[in-house]
Amino acid sequence: MDAKPYYRDLANGYSPALWASACRCALLFFPACLATAAQPPTSRDRPIMTSSAALPLAAATKPDPKIAMGWLHTAKFLTTAPELKHLPRIEVPEIAFVGRSNAGKSTCINTLTQQHRLAFASKTPGRTQSINLFSLGKQGVTDAVLADLPGYGYAAVPKEAKYRWQQVMGNYLQTRDNLQAIVLLCDPRLGLTELDEILLDVIRPRVEEGLKFLVLLTKSDKLNKTDAAKALQIVKLQAGGGDVKLFSSLKRQGVEEVAQHLWDWAHPMEKPVKAPKPAPESPTGGESDPQTPIPPAADLA
């Protein structure tokens, strides 16, 4: 597959076309940068993927990778939905896999779950036309769901089908209540395409509200180490400096690390509750006046 012009020159550094693309993405994900520097920083000043979605995992809190891999191996087919109205209402966290046709979504899911035929990996791009859900959980108790969304960008798909799925995917990504995280898969030889950038723009409001997000460069085994490192740096520029990982089902590169992300997204650590501050004593050494309420610690300046 022929790559973008600026990807043909990976070994020669960044071309003007690449910098133009990076600048477009910067303007897309950093609108607050157009404001004056004198304005105080706000939540919108952050890049799209620098929320808790992209924070590195703390080594002291993450479990053994074997736990995450064993949990993913419990995946079972749940249902398929050609339209949003056919999706069941689910209370547990849902993690969606999205990307262009032939980006390797189904293969990635099969690798992570250690099941060769869980997600159907078609050799014909654009064939999958439904959202496929897979339940996760031990002892028959579902605690998370994986969603394999149809690929986009395949030219041979009829325009009517393209338009319908644009609407379905857009509504799903914007309105699915239990959607906890999104994994965007792309070919490192192509980087983030215009359609990928449109998808990022669609989910941006939810990412700013805390939706977890990860970009996977699949088929990384097709690049040597030097080109893979440069592709990783390029996509990080395109994605606004967010969390981007190399992934190879063939060489199992990044498999355990991604499994760890999925586990943590589905099993967020509960924040410890701070003990309330003791009530201050009255000037006379007795207890404080019961008619004077003590504000909670969270409200104290």
173-184 pLDDT, tens digit per residue, is: 999 999 999 999
pTM of the model: 0.69
Q: Calculate the CA 37 to chain-centre distance.
A: 30
CA gap 49, 87 in Å, rounded: 27
User: Taking CA 29 as the corner, what is the angle to CA 62 and CA 59, rounded to the nearest 5 degrees?
Assistant: 10
The DSSP code sequence of 116-141 is TTSS---SSTT---SEEEEEE-GGG-
89 vs 284: which has the higher pLDDT: 89
Cβ-proximal residues to 277 (8 Å cutoff; 6+ apart), any chain: 297, 300
- Angle at Cα 193 formed by Cα 204 and Cα 198, nearest 5°? 30
Name the pLDDT band for 124 (thresholds 50, 70, 90): low
pLDDT tens-digit readout, 149-158: 988 877 566 7
Per-residue model confidence (pLDDT) at position 56: 43
Question: Whats the size of the chain, residue-wise?
Answer: 301
Residue pLDDT, tens place only, 210-266:
999 999 999 999 999 999 999 999 998 888 767 999 999 999 999 999 999 999 999
Q: Three-state SS for 231? A: helix
Look at residue 271 in the predicted model and tell me its pLDDT. 42
Residue-wise pLDDT for 1-13, tens only, equals 444 443 444 444 5
- Inter-CA distances, 174 with 16, 89, 196, 211, Å: 34, 15, 15, 11
pLDDT of residue 54: 39
Mean model confidence pLDDT for the chain: 75
Domains by residue range for the chain, with CATH: 5-266 (3.40.50.300)
State the pLDDT at residue 160: 77
Q: Is residue 177 classed exposed, middle or buried when 0-12, 13-18 and 19+ CB atoms within 10 A define those classes?
A: exposed
- Report the C-alpha gap between 56 and 53 in whole angstroms: 9
Q: Which pLDDT value is given to residue 122?
A: 58
**Is the CB of residue 73 less than 8 Å from the CB of residue 114?**
yes
